[in-house]
Amino acid sequence: MNAQSPRIAIPVPTSTDEAYNQRSLPQYMRAVEAAGGVPVPVPLQEASEAQARLIATCSAMLLPGSPADVDPARYGQPAAKECAAKDAPREAADELLFEHAFACGKPILGICYGLQSLNVWRHGTLIQDLPNGSQVNHEPGREVQKAHAVVVAGDSRLSHLLGQLPQEARDLQVNSSHHQAIDRLGDGLAVAATSPVDGVIEALEGTDPKRFVVAVQWHPERSYESSAVSRALFAAFLDAARSWASSSEPR
Please tell me the least confidently modeled range out of 36-50, 163-177, 181-195, 212-226.
163-177
pLDDT bracket for residue 138 (50, 70, 90): low
What's residue 199's pLDDT?
A: 87
What's residue 201's pLDDT?
A: 94
Indicate the average pLDDT of the chain: 91
Q: Which pLDDT tens digit goes with each residue over 80-90? A: 999 999 999 99
pTM score, two decimals?
0.93
What's residue 136's pLDDT?
A: 64
pLDDT bracket for residue 241 (50, 70, 90): very high
What sign for the dihedral angle of Cα 33, 39, 41, 42?
A: negative
Percent of the chain at pLDDT > 90 equals 76
Give the domains, in start order, of the chain with CATH numbers.
Answer: 7-248 (3.40.50.880)
Percent of the chain at pLDDT > 70 equals 90
66 phi-psi bin (left φ>0, alpha ψ -120 to 50, beta other)? beta
Q: CA-to-CA distance for 100 and 59, rounded, in angstroms?
A: 11
What's residue 150's pLDDT?
A: 87
Residue 109: partners with Cβ closer than 8 Å, 6 or more residues away: 60, 61, 62, 63, 212, 214, 215, 233, 234, 237
What's residue 143's pLDDT?
A: 62
pLDDT bracket for residue 226 (50, 70, 90): confident
Range 15-33 burial, b when 16+ CB lie within 10 A, else e:
bbeeebbeebbebbbebbe
Mean pLDDT of 99-119: 97
pLDDT bracket for residue 123 (50, 70, 90): very high
Mean pLDDT of 205-234: 94
Residue 238 has pLDDT above 90, yes or no: yes
Residue 122 has pLDDT above 90, yes or no: yes
133 phi-psi bin (left φ>0, alpha ψ -120 to 50, beta other)? left
Q: CA-to-CA distance for 62 and 88, rounded, in angstroms?
A: 18
What's residue 249's pLDDT?
A: 67
Count other C-beta atoms under 10 Å from residue 89's C-beta. 20
Helices 228-248 and 18-34 meet at what angle, rounded to 10?
Answer: 70
The catalytic residue positions are: 112, 219, 221
What's residue 2's pLDDT?
A: 47
Q: Which pLDDT tens digit goes with each residue over 163-194? A: 888 877 677 888 777 789 999 999 999 999 99
Residue 70 has pLDDT above 90, yes or no: yes
Contact (CB, 8 A) for 184 and 136: no
**Burial degree of 76 (CB within 10 A; 0-12, 13-18, 19+):** exposed
Mean pLDDT of 113-139: 86
- Kindly report the backbone phi and psi dihedral angles of residue 11, in degrees, each rounded to the nearest multiple of 5, phi listed first: -65, 140
Helices 88-104 and 48-56 meet at what angle, rounded to 10?
Answer: 40
- Closest by CA position to 6, among listed 212, 171, 148: 212
